[in-house]
Amino acid sequence: MESDDFVLPGTELGFAEEFMPGKGTYEDDGKVYSAMTGTLKIDMKERKIIVEPRTNIIPEPKVGDIVIGKILDVKQQFGVVRVIRLLGNPRELPDTIGTIHISRAKSSYVQDISMEFSGGDIVKAKVVDIKRHPISLGTVEKDLGIIKAYCSKCNIALELENGKLKCPNCSSIESRKCSSDYGNGNV
């Protein structure tokens, strides 16, 4: 097999002594095989084989990506987010948890993070670090933050009125770190 060849799952790519099996490949009984449908890439310098899929791919968050998630919990120092999708990609991420640290919630000083996020809210955030699990997210930019929030008393979607979040049912005012496109449904 040569670099740029089209490979299918199960195609033999080389010997395990010869190449390191990278992404999209697997090793079995001393040989390297493809696990994906795509293009073979051989790195002769690193002696590494990978397969770049040509199919619909399972999304993975990278540093700098904008993601859509749901706030699961709010702790003293950070909010916990279930990262659901990358912005603009309809395919769901497989079981990814992220955290938004209090220092990355917004550009100004945050006294109490529960004033910025609340469980059940939908958030748009930027991926800051993926080295550790859970991954780190930030909502400092103007267009990042909560894009849909729910009333803490009646669990009804809050509406943006004169820059404030108001519950249409009980008229209570709540505070969040809102994205500039709150309520637009731009996901």
Partner 1 sequence: MKVGEPEEFIIDGKRLDGRAPDELRPIKIEAGVLERADGSCYLEWGGNKVLAACYGPREIHPKHEARSDRAALRTYYRMAPFSVNDRKRPGPDRRSVELSKVIRNTLESVVFLHLFPMTAIDVYIEILQAQAGTRCAGITAASVAIADAGIPMKELIPSCASGKIDGKVVVDLFDTEDNYGEADVPVAIIPRTGEIALLQMDGNLTQEEFEEALNLAVKGCKDVYEKQKEALMKRYGGE
- Binding-site ranges for partner 1 (CB under 8 A): 6, 8-10, 12, 24, 26, 28, 33, 35-38, 53-58, 82, 84, 91-92, 94-95
Give min distance, CB of 153 to partner 1, in A: 27
| Runs of H (alpha helix) within the chain | none
Distance between first and last Cα of the chain = 41
Give min distance, CB of 8 to partner 1, in A: 6
Give min distance, CB of 142 to partner 1, in A: 30
Task: For partner 1, give the closer residue by CB, 3 or 175.
Answer: 3
Task: For partner 1, give the closer residue by CB, 70 or 166.
Answer: 70
Task: For partner 1, give the closer residue by CB, 130 or 140.
Answer: 130
Q: Which of 34, 47, 40, 54 is nearest to 2 (CA)?
A: 40
- Is 149 within 8 Å of 176 (Cβ atoms)? yes
Task: For partner 1, give the closer residue by CB, 73 or 161.
Answer: 73
Give min distance, CB of 117 to partner 1, in A: 20
- Is 109 within 8 Å of 71 (Cβ atoms)? no
Cis peptide before 168 (omega within 30 of 0): no
Tokens of 177: 């770190």
How far, in Å, CA of 110 to CA of 74, rounded?
Answer: 14
